[in-house]
Structure 1
Amino acid sequence: MRRVALALLATTIIAPSAGAQPTGRRAPLQRQLDQALQLIEAQRARLDAQAAELAELRRRVDAQAQAVARAEAAPLPQLAAAPPRAPALAAAQGAAPGAPGDPAGVLQPPLERVGQAPEDAEQPIQLAVLDSQSSVVTRKGQLTGEFQVDYARADRSRAVFRGVELVEAVLVGVFDINESRQDVLTASAALRYGLTDRFELGVRAPFIHRADASIIAPIAGSTNNDQAATIDSSVKGTGIGDIELTARYQLLSGGNGRPYLIGNLQGVLPTGTDPFAIRRDDLGRPTRAATGAGFWGIAPSVTAILPSDPVVLFGTLGYTFNLPRDVNTRIPPVVITYVDPGDAISGSAGIGISLNQRTTVNFGYAHTWAFGTRTRTMLIEPTAAWPGERETISRDLQIGRFLFGVTYRVTDRASLNWSVEVGATEDATDLRTILRVPVVLLTGG
């Protein structure tokens, strides 16, 4: 069309130069020129409209191509309504092969969480078998209260010979069986408060009911009157125990394969019934059972907790300083003047396994090496053979326990921790079971 219009225009321009034309013949040519110009303008408008449509189509195609590229590169979103799976369950499902045709068996891009996770998705680590060292340090401003009930049982049976050995294997005297049994029921309340995100202070006050039974009975037939020779010194006692003060500082924050490292310092105050101040009968036997140890104690320790989904590895190492003191207690026929209960080295290690979001089981072993007690005594009525003080040291004690525990998080603020300790050595308590209920009273900032 442009060529036709240009040709008509050229003809119009050249025509006057060929010679003078009559005015009547020039008018039709002018009309043709005007019509050609109108056609040119119309075609130009159509071309501009088509160019605009083409540009719009190109823009839409480019936008769709970019959207497809982003969709292919982005991970598939996780359903917002579905709660996050427990680590153990997720691992088990991820390892299981899918059935033929099952979409779960087809490799998918990694899932991306959409929205905010439930509040209980991130909870402090708790281990039922570690007592007051069972979690990382309480965060700043948080106040946690804890109620605890525990029961311990220890039985001992030993054969004792009282008499004279004439020659080897020839004994003249009485054979006794010393049976002792100890039952201790303790209810305690504790508070822990986070001064900072790394430093925590705590206090624990126990109330104890204790029943001790000690029976010395001769072996049947070894005396003329076995019943008369039996000595029963069973006693009971109830009252407040030794108060514990604790301070804990988080030395290292865990995560990315690093353990939580926590320094602990525990102080024991002799607020319970002093075993050396209990009233005794004429034979020196106590009239009631003591609810305290009677000594000040300081116990620094270090706790390491290493999360490794879906398990948690833990370990502790500590040393207990028991401060000696003068007691001056009369237990006929002697007076106990000084007692140093000896220090102790303790350690434990174990594993916590997450069963689901709320339940964890713990297995471990704990061992304490308690050094011998140093005691100084003197006779109430000194003799030439024993004129002054004598110092004796008892044997060391090896106290080993197997540990089993379960932690169940009831709500975001409360959980149940139940543990069982079974004695693994002769010196250990036969059985101890503990139920702890920590509750967050103030959440802090």
Structure 2
Amino acid sequence: MPRKYVPLVFCATLAIVPWQVRAAVGSKPPQEGSVASIYQQQNALFVPGQFTIEPGITYAYSDSNALTLNGFLALGSIFLGNINVSKITSNIETFSLDGTYSPTGNFQIGVDVPYLLRQSTYESIGAQNSTAQASEQDVSNNGQIGDVSLLLNYEFLGEGEDYPALIWNNQVKSPTGRSPYGIQILTQPQNNNLNYPAALATGNGVWSYTTGLSFIKTTSPAILFGNISYTYNFRRHISNINSQPPSAPGDVSAGNIFGFGFGTAFAINDKMSMTFGYNEKIAQETRLRPDGGGWQNIVGSNSNAAALALGMSYAMNSSTTFVTNVEIGLTRDAPNFQISFKVPYAF
């Protein structure tokens, strides 16, 4: 099947399924604070007429090392040529404000507005043309808005005694953040081996649509949950796709993303709960096409980001919950670790 038809078939399937199973709607989950918090985190809490405001902060750290050899082996063991050792460390703080509203008992709309602070350090040996000296370069964005998202969640099957609640999740993300395309790559004057970007992106640069299914099932004392999703990135024409002068307008086709996750949660008491989960996102390669030219794959733009997650939530009262989550990256494309704090407030 051609690549461009995959998301259309996937979306059509999800659109048809809800009408086939809508008649099997079951009961709502228990209303204890700890259980309700778990449902809220899985986009599965639908209270008619309820607004929820969720401020949050997330910190992510990642680093990567690269060894580049440009030469050949002499006598089978002696390397002749250039050796370049580089390291990149990245720190990202994201301040987010989410808002959701449930007009009915099975329908929810929302918006997510992120604000990002990014700082990266690029290191490489080769300063003053010496393999014994290294230099570094710091790059930061001083804070910028990210990609704003619109959310729509629809519960077409409520949880019953023998089956889970099923929710159809939808998200439209707009390219309001700083695009990663067209950012100039600079070379440090005192170290020709050290290349770094003139700025850091805070968005994907394209419109995207994510659709998927999630489930949640109470099996006392545990609660099981999981999800599957597909993100389709729309092709977009931008004014500059070059990382070096001169500017060159062209089309961007960002790689589509397949994601899934699962886990379990335990309600320790009527206020506190713990969650354990796994999530993974697999992205295809990004392609660029300058005006008048052909498509070019960006080598290394595909990724596989997998992480283990450990979370805790505490219901401070009937309307306010404190939620914290820690993720440990399992693959090179995932952050080394990520920690987040959120305080959903319902009214």
TM-score range, shorter chain: 0.7 to 0.9
TM-score, length of structure 1 as denominator length: 0.63
Q: Which amino acid aligns with 1:202?
A: G
Match in the other structure for 1:298: 209
Q: How does 1:151-166 map to 2 (within 5 A)?
A: 151-163=59-71
Distance 1:168 1:397, change over 3 A: farther
**8 Å contact from structure 2 (residues 322, 344) kept in 1:** yes
Range with bigger deviation, 291-300 or 312-321 = 291-300
Quick one: distance in 1 between partners of 2:316 and 2:253? 44
Q: How does 1:104-115 map to 2 (within 5 A)?
A: none
**Number of equivalenced pairs:** 308
Match in the other structure for 2:165: 260
Q: Which amino acid aligns with 1:421?
A: E
Q: Is the counterpart of residue 436 in structure 1 residue 347 in structure 2?
A: no
SS at match of 1:289: coil
Shift in Å at residue 170 of structure 1?
5.0
**8 Å contact from structure 2 (residues 182, 242) kept in 1:** no
Match in the other structure for 1:307: 218
Unaligned stretches of 5+ residues in structure 2: 1-29, 189-194
Give the alignment partner of residue 179 of structure 2, picking from 260, 267, 274: 274
CA deviation vs aligned residue, 1:208-234 (integer Å, no higher than 9, x gap): 10001122224x9x954643xx46342
**Structure of higher RCO (CA pairs closer than 8 Å, 6+ residues apart):** 2
CA deviation vs aligned residue, 1:324-365 (integer Å, no higher than 9, x gap): 323433323786644322111110011001111111111111
SS at match of 2:178: coil
SS at match of 1:270: coil
Distance 1:329 1:166, change over 3 A: farther
Match in the other structure for 1:246: 151
Q: How does 1:75-114 map to 2 (within 5 A)?
A: none
Q: Is the counterpart of residue 412 in structure 1 residue 325 in structure 2?
A: no
Give the alignment partner of residue 196 of structure 1, picking from 104, 116, 126: 104
**8 Å contact from structure 1 (residues 137, 250) kept in 2:** no
Shift in Å at residue 280 of structure 1?
6.1
CA deviation vs aligned residue, 1:30-76 (integer Å, no higher than 9, x gap): xxxxxxxxxxxxxxxxxxxxxxxxxxxxxxxxxxxxxxxxxxxxxxx
SS at match of 1:257: coil
Distance 1:338 1:171, change over 3 A: farther
Quick one: distance in 2 between partners of 1:225 and 1:425? 30
Give the alignment partner of residue 297 of structure 2, picking from 364, 370, 392: 392
TM-score, length of structure 2 as denominator length: 0.79
SS at match of 2:344: strand
Higher normalized helix content (fraction of residues)? 1
CA RMSD of aligned residues (A): 3.0
CA deviation vs aligned residue, 1:112-132 (integer Å, no higher than 9, x gap): xxxxxxx9647763339xxx8
Higher normalized strand content (fraction of residues)? 2
**8 Å contact from structure 1 (residues 206, 241) kept in 2:** yes
Match in the other structure for 2:19: none
CA deviation vs aligned residue, 1:183-204 (integer Å, no higher than 9, x gap): 0001111110012111110001
- Whose Rg is larger? 1
Match in the other structure for 2:21: none
Aligned-residue identity in percent: 26
Match in the other structure for 1:358: 271
**8 Å contact from structure 1 (residues 269, 295) kept in 2:** yes
**8 Å contact from structure 1 (residues 374, 394) kept in 2:** no
Quick one: distance in 1 between partners of 2:336 and 2:187? 32
**8 Å contact from structure 1 (residues 359, 408) kept in 2:** yes
Match in the other structure for 2:140: 236
**8 Å contact from structure 2 (residues 70, 81) kept in 1:** yes
Quick one: distance in 2 between partners of 1:358 and 1:224? 60
Q: Which amino acid aligns with 2:282?
A: W
Match in the other structure for 2:10: none
Give the alignment partner of residue 329 of structure 2, picking from 423, 431, 437: 423
Q: Is the counterpart of residue 205 in structure 1 residue 113 in structure 2?
A: yes
Quick one: distance in 2 between partners of 1:171 and 1:348? 45
Unaligned stretches of 5+ residues in structure 1: 1-118, 379-386
**8 Å contact from structure 1 (residues 345, 369) kept in 2:** yes
Match in the other structure for 2:242: 330
Give the alignment partner of residue 307 of structure 2, picking from 393, 401, 407: 401
Give the alignment partner of residue 197 of structure 2, picking from 286, 289, 307: 286
Quick one: distance in 2 between partners of 1:323 and 1:231? 39
Shift in Å at residue 135 of structure 1?
3.8
CA deviation vs aligned residue, 1:353-391 (integer Å, no higher than 9, x gap): 11111111111111111112223469xxxxxxxx96572
Match in the other structure for 1:340: 253
**8 Å contact from structure 1 (residues 124, 136) kept in 2:** no
Match in the other structure for 1:26: none
Q: Is the counterpart of residue 141 in structure 1 residue 49 in structure 2?
A: yes
